[in-house]
Chain A
Amino acid sequence: GAGVSQSPSNKVTEKGKDVELRCDPISGHTALYWYRQSLGQGLEFLIYFQGNSAPDKSGLPSDRFSAERTGGSVSTLTIQRTQQEDSAVYLCASSLRGAYEQFFGPGTRLTVL
């Protein structure tokens, strides 16, 4: 079956612009996670969605970062007023429920010039 998909695969933007990154989880998976992978910080948790519960936003690095999950499926991560330090690979993962194995998408490589 289809795995987790993310779009775009690559995004180049100018400093100060807003960007939206999309994640399509595996059908039926109720839990969805966003992570960021950067050279300096490694792999970091950003945000978690579980069903219709309030998301766990404890990993978001600043208020320029936000995410939503519509209809319990597709998720969008938005970064406003991008900065060069936002350059990273943004990974999305989904799982059947929160405690189960997480399946990762291929990531979106964001470059902020």
Chain B
Amino acid sequence: AQSVTQLGSHVSVSEGALVLLRCNYSSSVPPYLFWYVQYPNQGLQLLLKYTTGATLVKGINGFEAEFKKSETSFHLTKPSAHMSDAAEYFCAVSAPSGAGSYQLTFGKGTKLSVIP
């Protein structure tokens, strides 16, 4: 079984400041890890993913995340926040189930506000 914990349901940063959204996971098998973004009244858009290989993963819109197995973490960062980054962010873990499904287990989400 897998689980995801996102620290902080709401994070506020100033425009131009560092964005850091925290995610810790639990998985009994090597996981695939994802960050999704959701803008109001829209579906989920993939920001980045980790499957295997390089542990520092770069995504869209200047975001990146680092897989740290020893810390079971996959924190999302962006050096400089932009107003358009205001949205809700979801960390998710995926691993094969007995039925062959790779369903995503999501964290509760972190709503990012960017202050001008």
Contact = CB atoms under 8 A, between A and B. Distances in A.
Contacts of A93: 44
Chain A facing B: main interface SS: strand
Contacts of A45: 103-105
B98 to A, nearest CB: 9
Nearest to B42: A106
A59 B42 CA distance: 23
Contacts of B107: 42
A interface residue count range (under 10 / 10 to 19 / 20 to 34 / 35 or more): 20 to 34
Interface residues of B, number: 25
Nearest to B109: A42
A33 B99 CA distance: 13
Interface string A60-103: 00000000000000000000000000000001010100110111
22 contacts: A33-B101, A33-B103, A35-B104, A43-B104, A45-B105, A48-B99, A48-B103, A50-B100, A53-B100, A54-B99, A56-B99, A56-B100, A56-B103, A58-B97, A58-B99, A58-B101, A98-B96, A102-B46, A104-B44, A104-B45, A105-B43, A107-B43
Interface of B: 32, 34, 36, 42-46, 49, 90, 92, 94, 96-97, 99-109
